[in-house]
Amino acid sequence: MSRVLRAAVVIALASLVVVLVLAFRRAPTDIKTGTVGRPAAAFTLQQLDGAGTWSSSNAQGKVVVVNFFASWCLPCKEENPALVRVYERYRASDVVFVGVLYQDSRDSGLRYVRDNGVVWPTMSDDDGRVAFSYGVFGIPETFFVGGDGVIAGRHIGPIDEATLIRGIECLRRSPTGGDCLRASAR
Amino acid sequence: MNSATRARLAAPRVVLVMALVAIAVAIVWSARPHAETQAERVDRITAELRCVVCQGLSVKDSPSESARQMRDLVAQRVAEGRSDDQIRDEFRASYGDWVVLAPPLASWSGLVWLVPLAALALGTLVALGRIRPAPAVAREPAPADVAALRERAAREEALDLPVDAR
Amino acid sequence: MITWADLGSAALRAALPLAIWGSGAAAYAAAKRDGRALASSRWAALLVLVLVGLAIFAMEGALVTHDFSIQYVAQNNARETPLFFTVISLWAALEGSILLWTLILAGATAYVAWRGARELPRLSTVALAVLLGMVAFFCLLITTPAADPFVRIDPVADGSGPNPLLQNHPLMALHPPLLYLGYVLFSVPFAYAIASLILGEGGDRWLVATRRFALVSWGLLGVGIVAGSWWSYAVLGWGGYWAWDPVENAAIMPWLVATAYLHSVMVEEKRRLLRTWNLSLVIATFALTILGTFLTRSGVVNSVHAFTQSALGPMLLGYLVAIVVLSVGLLLWRMPRLADMGGIGAPLSREAVFLFQNVVFVAATLTVLLGTLYPLIAEAISGAQLSIGRPYFDRVEVPLALALLFLMGIGPQLPWHGASRATLERQFTTPVLAAAAAAVLAVMVGVGGAFPVLTYALAAFVAATVAQEFARGIRARRVLHGEAPADAFVSLIRRSGRRYGGYVVHLGIVVIAVAVATSQAGKIEVERTLRQGDVMRVGEYDIHFTGLRPVSEPQADKVLALLAASAPGATTDLRTVTASLVFYPNSTQAVGSPGVAPGPRDDIYTILAAYDAESFSWATIRVLVIPLVSWIWLGGAIVGIGAVIAALPPPRQRAVVAGPRRVPLSRHAAATTSQAVPTPPAARSREARSGDTSRPDVTRPDGVEP
């Protein structure tokens, strides 16, 4: 085996080891965002309570919190009280809360909404297109959209009060969100 | 050799050649391109997209609800006449490159497609290099070689072992 | 009162120092030729096995008695879990799996220690030291929080039960143990290879001593992989059996390299060539088994088998790095002594074909390795997240597999040292004709796509060569011994088990290749939403949807979709099939359980994708008709049978042989190098007397053939 080949093998093995060690720096649940920083897709959906349609243009120029949920999702139920509390806090302001039902029947969704005190507009994403346009990986997932209509941040997994407030305040201060919002997951 | 022997040897050779030709024709014939139906096109595109809620399955393979919705979306886009790249880009806009199950050829990551070729080529070169025809005339070995050979034989025979029957 | 946890913990904590002691004693015994140190090391090996066995007994006892004061039991068992799944949940999760690994390793080590009854030759002694060192490492793993199975917690009322996917199929009893046996038993050839390098004798003793171990471990790994595929097919509910999932890749990489090794070993035995290469292959196979375990257990790649992340990762990585550095270092150091005598002369010879086959296997393994690791590499370098999945692996590995099929056909047919043109024509006329017939038939039947047709042609080619070899062998035995064909067949298998077992393995691979090609190319898939009483047409079957039925069982609630398959238009049912969605109490989403009706021609595979939860009026059913998929499992069984045939020792010779038959190396070397090397008269007379103990380094014939 020539010296060159020997050296090549040693280098290849060493790089393999380096790669594997570097792999530890990465948490497998850390998924990079695709849609953060892009304009939120416009959508119009039927509301769950039968009060007609809700269109994303209703919230134009305002800070929007979009929460994807379903009745079969236990963590959604866990995060709901936090959502309710923060909603109440910003009820008088022009922050808009929107709930989008994901992969669930309207009846189950409506029952969930009624049973859990969800009073902000909720609608059903029947064909999943809105979820795709936002880049939803799984629920619960919450998106923060700034006044300029750009998705400034997302949170995968059940969200807590502190994170919600931080996101909203950040967007109220600077409509473009800037550096105060990043993707987060729990 | 006389003509009778030549004829006798030629017959199986002809058969062999005909058989090889038949195989080649069969392969080329089965590889002929046919017009892809819309359903096949949807299948092809969804086979290359990753189901976002599964662990590595393609949208085509996964029975999950998300995958079905993605398939419906792809089918609709195909019916609308979008190109393969446009459809893939729509998903990449939402989920990043992660959602495509193999790196495109025309990118830095596309180099992974070359890995098997490079490995084969390199290996074949090394292998061919080791196949050296034996010299026609046996040389008389140098005394140093003989001594080394003897020393080695002695070392190996030092640990005795019944040789396997085969 | 001694609890199960006390027993198990104590046993493992006693095993660790014993293993370290044993390893040191064996090393000392080899260095100083001290018989007492050797004896103490052998007893240590046995004792370690007993202690680890005791720990396994303690864990099983805890599982069966639902002792929820042990964290492992609380996480992997529940009161409602049936006894069968309780017992096999020993290997349901990380800690138990590592414990099982340790048991198998300790067993193999004890076997090596005690196989050579009274004394142990130097090679085996050093190998024992290496093996005990490995056992010590694994004992360390299972006594640290990284993988300690006996971690205690406050007792809970009821456990969470095993992962839902692991408690609905009996194959869960087979797949992990087979796989682990395959992985772990490869430690023995590796240990012998390292011993050979340490001792620096540059010979082939290590190879012949562990040939059967390598074959058995290869066979078990192969069958374990097929069992895993079958399990995945029957349980995961997507209709496929191989997804190039990182954990699947982790298992197949050592198997590919081990297959290359088994073949190039024959070149070393016959022609004394490729020594360095064979040592590298053994090291690579073993390193890949550790890498595979690391990838599976450390959580650095996501996978279907998503096991929990733990501190195990860094420890395994450290172990892997140590092994690679030490073995490669030893190999580089000893390489001058491993120079080949002679070379491969002709490109059309068996050894050349084996060499090319090795190249293809290694290329295939490198591709799988890089494909699996590339997302990690890309993310580490540039932060980009990408995926590499089926579209890449299928496209790249299928041509390599076809190349291997081709080489599999020509390799055994070519003689050693080279073949003449006349030989080639004589050997290959029938197989090529068979291939042509298969190709033409396939096209006429309407098989679409070049790859299936090529696969059928190559499969026919290989099958014809195997049939030819069997026919020749039977004919030869009839002529020489007058045996009837059936007796001749049995004699062939028993006397030349290695050769004919190998042919049977090749046949098994052919069956798998044909089954895989057909099941991929001919798969028909239809998904439809049906109401009760509806019928959907899938391929040549009518699938009747009888209705949905909810069922409550002690460990889970299920919703069953009752289906029946019949010939088109018929109302007499052929087969009933039930797909279901299972709701376990501790999981938020349902787990799909496919309904499979296997058959010799095709399997009907049904999945309940969605249903009306309110009134059970409709269900979305996906049905696949997959041709020949059951033949894959059959092919796997044939490969296993072939491995058994090859591993069986030949029947004792009738004639009495005076002492061990030895081929004097000097004469053999002369034959291969075509150089006249005179054997010194002194050496020759020593050959005549067997078992001469006046020479250094001789202890006893090293007969560690398992």
Mean pLDDT of the residues in chain C: 84
Q: Closest Cα partner for C648 from C534, C494, C457?
A: C494
Do residues B29 and B44 both lie within one domain?
no
Do residues B95 and B127 both lie within one domain?
no
Q: pLDDT class for C705, splitting at 50, 70, 90?
A: very low
Do residues B44 and B24 both lie within one domain?
no
The reported pLDDT for the residue numbered B36 is 87
Q: pLDDT class for C656, splitting at 50, 70, 90?
A: very low
Structure tokens at A71: 């009745």
Dist CA C160 CA C81 (whole Å): 10
Do residues B95 and B62 both lie within one domain?
yes
Q: Determine, yes or no, domain membership for B18.
A: yes
CA C488 remoteness from chain centre: 31
- With beta carbons under 8 A apart, name residues in chain B contacting A135: 94-95
Look at residue C706 and tell me whether its pLDDT is greater than 50.
Answer: no
Q: Closest Cα partner for C279 from C265, C267, C289?
A: C265
Dist CA C539 CA C526 (whole Å): 9
Q: Closest Cα partner for A144 from A168, A169, A120?
A: A168
Please tell me if residue C355 touches chain B, with a CB cutoff of 8 Å. Answer: yes
Do residues B22 and B46 both lie within one domain?
no
Task: Identify whether the C-beta of residue C577 lies closer than 8 Å to the C-beta of residue C563.
Answer: yes
Task: State the nearest Cα–Cα gap between B93 and chain A, in angstroms.
Answer: 6
Residue C692's φ and ψ, nearest 5 degrees, are -70, 125
User: If you count residue pairs, one on B and one on C, with CB atoms under 8 Å apart, how many are there?
Assistant: 276
Do residues B43 and B94 both lie within one domain?
yes
DSSP line for A129-156: HHHHHHT--SSSEEEEE-TTSBEEEEEE
Dist CA A136 CA A76 (whole Å): 14
Dist CA A154 CA A136 (whole Å): 9
Segment C171-195, tens digit of pLDDT: 778 888 999 999 999 999 999 999 9
Dist CA B42 CA A173 (whole Å): 45
User: Between residues C387 and C650, which one has the greater pLDDT?
Assistant: C387
Range C232-260 average pLDDT: 92
When divided into structural domains, chain B yields a total of 3
Segment C290-323, tens digit of pLDDT: 998 888 777 666 644 444 456 787 888 889 989 9
Instruction: Inspect the interface and report whether the beta carbons of B154 and C683 lie closer than 8 Å.
Output: yes
**DSSP-assigned letter for residue C166:** G
Please tell me if residue B22 touches chain C, with a CB cutoff of 8 Å. Answer: yes
Task: Identify whether the C-beta of residue C69 lies closer than 8 Å to the C-beta of residue C152.
Answer: yes
- With beta carbons under 8 A apart, name residues in chain A contacting B98: 31-32, 34
Instruction: Inspect the interface and report whether the beta carbons of A26 and C300 lie closer than 8 Å.
Output: yes
Dist CA A52 CA C665 (whole Å): 93
Which residues are registered as beta bridge partners of C372? none
Mutate to test the interface with A, among C274, C286, C297, C300 (most CBs of A within 10 A): C300
Residue C110's φ and ψ, nearest 5 degrees, are -60, -40
**What percent of chain B is modeled with pLDDT above 70?**
79
The reported pLDDT for the residue numbered A64 is 92
Helices (H) and strands (E) in chain A, counts: 5, 8
Segments forming the whole domain that contains residue B27 = 1-34
Please tell me if residue C340 touches chain A, with a CB cutoff of 8 Å. Answer: no
Q: What is the CATH number of the domain that holds B49?
A: 1.10.8.640
Mean pLDDT of the residues in chain B: 81
Do residues B86 and B70 both lie within one domain?
yes
Q: Determine, yes or no, domain membership for B115.
A: yes
- With beta carbons under 8 A apart, name residues in chain C contacting B57: 238, 243
Instruction: Inspect the interface and report whether the beta carbons of C425 and B112 lie closer than 8 Å.
Output: no
Three-class DSSP category at C627: strand
Instruction: Inspect the interface and report whether the beta carbons of C202 and B101 lie closer than 8 Å.
Output: no
Instruction: Inspect the interface and report whether the beta carbons of A127 and B69 lie closer than 8 Å.
Output: yes
The reported pLDDT for the residue numbered C666 is 41
- With beta carbons under 8 A apart, name residues in chain C contacting B19: 432-433, 435-436
Among candidate residues B57, B78, B99, the one where a domain is terminated: B99
Dist CA C371 CA C379 (whole Å): 13
Instruction: Inspect the interface and report whether the beta carbons of A34 and B70 lie closer than 8 Å.
Output: no
CB atoms within 10 A of CB A42: 12
The reported pLDDT for the residue numbered B134 is 61
Look at residue A122 and tell me whether its pLDDT is greater than 60.
Answer: yes
Residues in contact with B102: Cβ distance below 8 Å, sequence separation at least 6, in sequence order: B48, C387, C388, C389, C391, C392, C395
Question: What are chain C's partners, defined as 3 or more CB pairs within 8 angstroms?
Answer: A, B
Please tell me if residue B55 touches chain C, with a CB cutoff of 8 Å. Answer: yes
Range C167-174 average pLDDT: 79
Q: Determine, yes or no, domain membership for B145.
A: no
Instruction: Inspect the interface and report whether the beta carbons of C675 and B141 lie closer than 8 Å.
Output: yes
Does the predicted interface ipTM exceed a cut of 0.85? Answer: no
- Closest by Cβ to C376, choosing from A13, A23, A74: A23
Q: Determine, yes or no, domain membership for B27.
A: yes
The reported pLDDT for the residue numbered C119 is 58
Residues in contact with A27: Cβ distance below 8 Å, sequence separation at least 6, in sequence order: none
Q: pLDDT class for A148, splitting at 50, 70, 90?
A: confident
Do residues B95 and B113 both lie within one domain?
no
Do residues B64 and B90 both lie within one domain?
yes
User: Between residues C477 and C409, which one has the greater pLDDT?
Assistant: C409
Please tell me the least confidently modeled range out of A165-169, C213-217, C340-344: C340-344
Segment C76-111, tens digit of pLDDT: 888 888 888 888 889 888 889 899 999 999 999 999
Dist CA C334 CA C342 (whole Å): 19
Do residues B55 and B68 both lie within one domain?
yes
Please tell me if residue B162 touches chain C, with a CB cutoff of 8 Å. Answer: yes
Residues 62-121 in A contacting B (C-alpha not used; CB under 8 Å): 103
Do residues B15 and B54 both lie within one domain?
no
Range C687-700 average pLDDT: 34
Range A69-78 average pLDDT: 89
Range A42-49 average pLDDT: 91
Q: Determine, yes or no, domain membership for B12.
A: yes
Please tell me if residue A137 touches chain B, with a CB cutoff of 8 Å. Answer: yes
Segment C405-454, tens digit of pLDDT: 999 999 888 888 887 878 787 888 899 999 999 999 999 998 878 999 99
Q: Determine, yes or no, domain membership for B26.
A: yes
Mutate to test the interface with C, among A16, A105, A106 (most CBs of C within 10 A): A16
Cα–Cα distances in Å, from C467 out to A48, C507, C659? 69, 9, 37
Residues in contact with C129: Cβ distance below 8 Å, sequence separation at least 6, in sequence order: C23, C24, C26, C27, C30, C41, C195
| Cis ω before A140 (30° cut-off from 0) | yes
Q: Determine, yes or no, domain membership for B154.
A: no
Dist CA C61 CA C55 (whole Å): 10
Which residues are registered as beta bridge partners of A39? A150
User: Between residues C255 and B17, which one has the greater pLDDT?
Assistant: C255
Q: Determine, yes or no, domain membership for B165.
A: no
Residues in contact with C569: Cβ distance below 8 Å, sequence separation at least 6, in sequence order: C542
C39 exposed, middle or buried (CB, 10 Å; 0-12, 13-18, 19+)?
A: middle
Please tell me if residue C377 touches chain B, with a CB cutoff of 8 Å. Answer: no
Q: pLDDT class for B59, splitting at 50, 70, 90?
A: very high
Do residues B83 and B30 both lie within one domain?
no
Structure tokens at B7: 């004829």
